[in-house]
Structure 1
Amino acid sequence: MSAATRIAREEWRALLRNRAGVIATLLLVALVLVASFVSIERRDRIEADRARYQASVDAGFDRQPDRHPHRMVHYGQFVFRPIAPLAFFDAGIDSYTGNTIFLEGHRQNSANFAEARQSSLLLRFGQLTPAFVLQTLAPLLLIFLGFASVARERERGTLRLLLAQGLDGRTLLGGKLLAQAAVALAVAAPAFVVLAGFALAGVAGWGATLLLMLGYAAWLLLWALLAVLVSAWAHDSRAALAALIGLWLIGVILLPRALPEAAAAQVVLPTRIETEIALHRDLARIGDSHDPDDPYFNGFRQQVLARYGVSRIEDLPVQYAGLVGMEGERLSTALYARAAADSAGREARQNRFVHAFAALSPLIAIRQVSMALTASDPAAHLDFLDQAEAFRYRFVQTLNRMQAELIPHIGGEDPRVSADNWKRVPRFAYRSYDPLRDAGAIRRSLLVLAGWLAGLGLLFAVTARRIGRVAR
């Protein structure tokens, strides 16, 4: 048995004699397990509810009676965002972004029914998920277990004896770190087992799962290493504890919550009312499909007549109003797409502002890795919005085309097409988001964690060389 292993074994014995530490560790492990199973049950329940609602909405659309197609355009359709398989581990921004969109003609609605709007303010501190426990509570446990690892030896006078017996600083610190690292990985082990179970069952991909485990292992080892180093530099255990608690408060609590506010002040997002006013102004500028005297659609009418080789609208083989609806939808969709791209760009700049400070708070890095790999980050939400908008356009244009092609053959004052046509309208089918699509962002965040470990590793080497003088 090596000297470092013997040091680690003695450290484990000291930790086992610390009844409060043992109880706290067992409670945290139990909390990780409880958070995992509660989150899985909650995800499965919500996913079942959304699938049932989507099936109910689709069935309700199919049951509509004979109608004019344009009325079905305004009847609209609801779509629900499915939850990613690993989102049980980290809910990310899913609780704040909304999960349901009402799709209709002439406008692009936002996602609604965000859980944060229907829950208590405690949700803003952190939802009980394995990610929250490992990101916020596990470092605090490692602090309380490791703050006295070296300082205790100095206070008892055993540090000088160990060094006098020929034990070098590298071996001493290595043994202490080995003991704390084992505790850190033991705390994360239940969550890792659950993640591996999802991968083995084929529910989640091994690539995202292994990277997620790697990220959290680096995050916890970082705190174990930090606890040992601060304990080695501090004059006593009380000073070590105060310093580590201060680092935890700044890096885990204050900075991650203050930086988004700073980003919002740095890159201002227009309010919903401001956006709606600007969109209506732009819509009036490009042309009003409901105004027969609109200049743009006057020109459009001449183009349609020329295309079909007739001189009057009454001579068209299709209904002109349906063609106008299709053209108006094309114009308004392009306008809403530009507005959505502008909003997404502003949000991306806000996120880049926050992520630029990951070197000061590695929690930002592990949070980015966690949300990206569990498909609960802004990129996954934007992918859902893009898919929903692409479906909305197909949905509306299919009904507009029915109006243009079927109504001329029906006639009458209140022409209606057969209800059988509603079954021809496309249905929303969400394509699962690939968590590894934006590998660059994940790689950058993992490099930040690796950089922190490398920096602390250099400090570890310096501390090991100076540990003898520090003991005096």
Structure 2
Amino acid sequence: MTSLLVRLQLTTWRRDPRLLGLLTAMALLLTLASSWATADDVAGRTAQQQGATSARAEWLERGADHPHRRAHYGDFVFRPAGSLARLDRGVQAQLGKVLRIEAHRQGTPLFSDASQAGTVARFARPDAAFLLQLVVPLLLIFLGATGLAADRDAGRLKLALIQGASARTVARGHFLALWGLGLSLLALVVAASLGTSTALDGFTTLAWERLAGFMLVHALFLAIVSAAVVAAALWARSARSALLVLLAIWVVATAVLPRAMGSTANTLYPLPSQDAFQAAMQASREAGPDGHNPEDEAIEQRKQEVLDEYGVTSVKDLPIDFGGIAMQMDEDFGNEVWDTHHGELQAQFERQGELMTLAALVNPFQAIDHISMAITGTDLAHDLDFQAQAERYRRGLVHALNHEHAYGGPKERGASWEATPDFFAGLDAFEYAPPRWGAAIQHRTKELWSLVVWTFLALLAIRRGAARLERSQRPC
């Protein structure tokens, strides 16, 4: 009986030219969005690889150089796109893609997609996740409200009950039809992405385990939406009231609550502007040693310690270059300043994130958004991980250059001394190692459980609503 009802509902949608046109338009929109986003992702990865190769070539082509000059020349590191950015771009469009690596200062992300675009293009682009999380639920709401509730208003549901079908079976059939439609659209999105990937890069950048996770959590989310739509149709007095209630919930869940919680998080845990953050860091750093100032008190004290260590009275008599030691002192203090200020900033991020997680527990739309970005590698946590790895690389690189400055080369070196090209070629290029997807999703465990709970509650609402409907429609 259930399978018959599912086929009947699908046939009804297919025979209605308006609904068929709507479904066709949605399928085309999802296909185009997924294919376009995948092509854009592949092109972005190619550009990132070319940029990294070009930066490394420029580093090597400089040949022999003084280590401190090379430390100021610096390097560039490129943030690769998330593992499944082709399906969910997350926050990456608002974040920089390039970090400049140099001595005495930590890198600031440059060249985000939004910063290079005009005003209109600064709005979020409709990737596949956007459509699956916002537009497809709207479609399911419309179909559900004009399905089961309309059948009840027209008396067709009462006729089915008289003929022996139970309300629970009818509700189950409508739920499976809606969910099956949602799963079909999800499969279409993935198929379009895989097809484009095959044509452009042959799956070379596709993370299969993350793709499976993406499909599973979105299938669960679509089950929640489908069950909620059927439950509303069962409990509402009419198809119109069911549609109005569902639309109101959709607006609140997708627009009102996320914006309200974002504003609350910014109010309770405000973040400094980039200019204020840099100014505070600069003020703190000025209180420490300055490797470029030979009269700096801390540098003078360290110089005397080195002179005593080598048993000489003049820097000229040292078998090393004290300038490299002074530069590393400057760098070490700057690292402490960065750790302090960036630690405070990251603590604010975490406090905001905890508040948004609490909001997601009562809002499945926010929960799926958080989980999807974590799985696809496009959330803030992945960007902070990239910045942390880039900063560790910067410190290691600058330390190696300062060490060569201090201890490399002949004893009778001068300002014109240069380290060999082989030394610079021996310094490894930056390679970002993204966290494994299991570790990435671990901090979204609460949201995952909330989706499970919402699924149970929605199915329970269907069960109770079906029992209530059967009692009310029972013939006298």
Does TM, normalized by the shorter one, top 0.5?
A: yes
Residue of structure 2 equivalent to 1:86: 84
- Could you say if the C-alpha distance between residues 413 and 228 of structure 1 is closer, same or farther in structure 2, counting changes exceeding 3 Å? closer
* Aligned match of 2:343: 341
User: Quick one: which amino acid aligns to residue 334 of structure 2?
Assistant: S
**The residue matched to 1:112 in structure 2 has which SS?**
coil
- Pairing partner for 2:248 from 240, 246, 249: 246
1:395 corresponding residue in structure 2: 397
Counterpart residue identity of residue 326, structure 1 = Q
Would the aligned equivalents of 1:36 and 1:130 in 2 still touch at CA under 8 Å? yes
Q: Is 1:103 aligned with 2:95? A: no
1:37-76 matches, within 5 Å, as 37-64=35-62, 66-76=64-74
Whole-angstrom distance in 1 between the partners of 2:119 and 2:354: 26
Preserved contact between residue 230 and residue 240 of structure 1 (Cα < 8 Å):
yes
TM-score (normalizing by structure 1): 0.93
The 5-angstrom pairing of residues 193-204 of structure 1 reads 193=191, 201=203, 203-204=205-206
Partner residue in 1 for 2:152: 154
Name the CA distance, whole Å, in 2 between partners of 1:82 and 1:243. 42
C-alpha change, 1:359 and 1:429, in structure 2 (3 Å) is closer
CA shift, 1:436, in A, is 1.9
Give, in whole Å, the separation in 2 of the partners of 1:471 and 1:130. 41
| 1:434 aligned partner | 436
Match of 1:326 in 2: 328
Distance (whole Å) between structure 2 residues aligned to residue 294 and residue 132 of structure 1: 55
1:219 and 2:217 aligned = no
Is contact 1:79–1:388 with CA below 8 Å preserved after alignment? yes
Q: CA deviation at 1:239?
A: 1.6
User: In the alignment, is the contact (CA less than 8 A) between 1:410 and 1:416 conserved in 2?
Assistant: no
- 2:234 corresponds to which residue? 232
Aligned to 1:422: 424
Q: How many percent of aligned residue pairs carry the same amino acid?
A: 28
Output aligned runs, 1:229-378, within 5 Å: 229-378=231-380
Q: Tell me the SS of whatever aligns to 1:102.
A: strand
Could you tell me how far apart the structure 2 residues matched to 1:135 and 1:380 are?
A: 21
Distance 1:238 1:123, change over 3 A: farther
CA deviation string 1:222-278 (max 9, x = no partner): 111111111122222222211111111111222223322221112111122222222
- Local SS of the residue matching 1:79: strand
Q: CA deviation at 1:425?
A: 3.0
User: How far apart are 1:297 and its partner, in Å?
Assistant: 2.2
Partners of 2:122 and 2:456 lie apart in 1 by 33
Instruction: Output the amino acid matched with 2:117.
Output: S
Write the distance in 2 (CA, Å) between the matches of 1:35 and 1:387: 32
**What is the CA distance between 1:147 and its match in structure 2?**
0.8
Residue number in structure 2 paired with 1:379: 381
Give the superposition deviation at 1:65.
5.2
- The residue aligned with 2:22 is 24
1:409-466 residue CA offsets vs partner (Å, 9 max, x unmatched): 4534543344454323331122233222134323322211111111111111210110
Residue segments in structure 1 that go unaligned for 5+ positions in a row: none
404-413 or 331-340, which deviates more: 404-413
Helix, strand or coil for the counterpart of 2:443?
A: helix
Higher mean alpha-carbon deviation, 413-422 vs 432-441, is at 413-422
Deviation per CA, 1:366-405: give whole Å up to 9, x if none. Answer: 1111111111111111111111111111221222122212
RMSD between aligned alpha carbons? Answer: 2.3
Within the candidate set 3, 6, 17, 1:5 is matched to: 3
Amino acid of the residue matched to residue 377 of structure 1?
A: D
Structure 1 counterpart of 2:172: 174
Q: CA deviation at 1:284?
A: 2.2
The answer (yes or no) to whether the contact 1:21–1:144 under 8 Å persists in 2 is no
1:464 paired to 2:462: no
* In structure 2, C-alpha distance between the alignment counterparts of 1:249 and 1:463, rounded to whole Å: 24
Counterpart amino acid of 1:47? R
Size of the alignment, in residue pairs?
470
Q: CA deviation at 1:61?
A: 1.9
Once the two structures are TM-superposed, the CA of residue 334 in structure 1 deviates from its matched residue by 2.3
| Mapped contact 2:97–2:112 kept (Cα < 8 A) | yes
Output the CA distance in 2 between the equivalents of 1:65 and 1:7: 75
CA pair 208-112 structure 1, distance change in 2 beyond 3 A: same
Unpaired stretches in structure 2, ≥5 consecutive residues: none
Q: What displacement does 1:209 show?
A: 2.3
What is the rounded CA distance, in whole Å, between the counterparts of 2:230 and 2:120 in structure 1?
Answer: 33
- Superposed CA offset, 1:10-65 (max 9, x none): 22222122222212212222222222221121111111112111211211122225
The SS at the match of 2:429 is: coil
2:289–2:329: 8 Å Cα contact kept in structure 1? no
Per-residue Cα deviation, 1:190-230 (whole angstroms, up to 9, x for no partner) = 12446778899574444322221111001112111111111
1:411 to 407, 410, 413: 413
Residue 139 (structure 1) aligned with residue 137 (structure 2): yes
Q: TM-score, normalised by structure 2?
A: 0.92
Cα deviation for residue 124 of structure 1 reads 5.6
For residues 99 and 145 of structure 1, the distance between their equivalents in structure 2, rounded to whole angstroms, comes to: 41
8 A contact 1:29–1:188 mirrored in 2: no
Amino acid in the other structure paired with 2:34: S
Deviates more, 1:292-301 or 1:345-354: 292-301
CA distance in 1, matches of 2:415, 2:344: 43
User: 1:89–1:131: 8 Å Cα contact kept in structure 2?
Assistant: yes
- How is 1:448-463 mapped onto 2 (pairs within 5 angstroms)? 448-463=450-465
- 2:301 maps to a residue whose letter is G
Superposed CA deviations along residues 79-123 of structure 1, whole A, max 9, x for unmatched, are 111223311111111111111011110011211111122234555
* C-alpha separation in 1, matches of 2:17 and 2:356: 40
